Amino acid sequence: MNDLLIRAQQVSKTYTFGEKRLQILDRIDFCVKVGEFVAIMGPSGSGKSTLMHILGCMDRPSSGKYLFSGADLSMATDRQLARIRSHRIGFVFQSFNLIFGLDLLENVELPFIYAPPQHRKNRKHAMEAIAQVGLSNRIHHRPSQLSGGEMQRAAIARALAVDPELILADEPTGNLDARTGQGILDLLADLHTEGKTIVLVTHDRNVASCAQKVITLENGTLH
């Protein structure tokens, strides 16, 4: 069991609105091994975003267990979840989530601010992450001076800078043209080859095909 980074056991998520209950996830069971590249695929409304929020420690299941590196996070405190988010998970979002008033280096260094002191990295790690995604010549450019593909590479560098155990990519090619998007998928594939554990969330079968394993989510259940 030591080779498992993620284990979801009967994970369900339900929202209550007055007397109405909305079931988003229904008894999800799956695992991700250390070093695996897994795609979670499904149409809009299938529960992908909700599952991603649980995997990324941004939410908790209503029932069931979510284990990260062997620790059950289902009843973790907000502070414990925040610590895991800040230095053990690297996030890559469809909309890049870069701060336009900062240059590329400053954006990549942002996660260091929120990490506990004992896990805080220095500028060298940010520079190395930027070099890893091929943007060393853009280091003092602001997001408005970067192309869409470069902004997504910057977002990946920000995720890499904390040397996370998991990279969680949510529709990372959604705002990119096909050619640029393929470049991002190639970069993720290279990171997987280097040993990174990656979970990719997408509605696109072509995007999911770059992963080692594909999990399909429909109406809150796995297929």
Phi, psi of 195 (to 5 degrees): 110, 0
Q: Which superfamily, per CATH, for 35-61+78-222?
A: P-loop containing nucleotide triphosphate hydrolases (3.40.50.300)
**What pTM value is reported for the model?**
0.91
pLDDT digits (tens, 9 = 90+) for 6-49: 999 999 999 998 888 999 999 999 999 999 999 999 998 899 98
Q: Which residue has the tokens 């999800």?
A: 28
pLDDT digits (tens, 9 = 90+) for 152-211: 999 999 999 989 999 999 999 998 999 999 999 999 999 999 999 999 999 999 999 999
Of 105, 157, 162, nearest to 172 by C-alpha is 157
How far apart CA 38 and CA 32 sit, in angstroms, is 7
- pLDDT for the residue 1: 44
Domain boundaries, the chain: 35-61+78-222
How far apart CA 62 and CA 71 sit, in angstroms, is 17
How far apart CA 99 and CA 83 sit, in angstroms, is 22
Pairing outcome for strands 89-93 and 4-17? unpaired
Buried b (16+ CB within 10 A) or exposed e, 29-52: ebbbeeebbbbbbbeeebbbbbbb
- Per DSSP, 20 falls in state E
Could you tell me which residues come within 8 angstroms of residue 195 by beta carbon, excluding any fewer than 6 positions away? 35
Pairing outcome for strands 63-68 and 4-17? antiparallel
Higher pLDDT, residue 194 or 116: 194
Q: Do 57 and 43 form a contact (C-beta atoms < 8 A)?
A: no
Concatenate the DSSP letters of all residues of 97-127 into one string.
---TTS-HHHHHHHHHHHS-GGG---HHHHH
Of 28, 6, 1, nearest to 88 by C-alpha is 6
How far apart CA 31 and CA 171 sit, in angstroms, is 20
* 119: pLDDT strictly greater than 80: no
pLDDT digits (tens, 9 = 90+) for 43-100: 988 999 899 999 999 999 999 999 999 999 978 899 899 889 888 999 998 889 999 9
Of 190, 186, 181, nearest to 147 by C-alpha is 181
pLDDT tier at 117 (50, 70, 90 boundaries)? low
Of 187, 214, 190, 186, nearest to 200 by C-alpha is 214
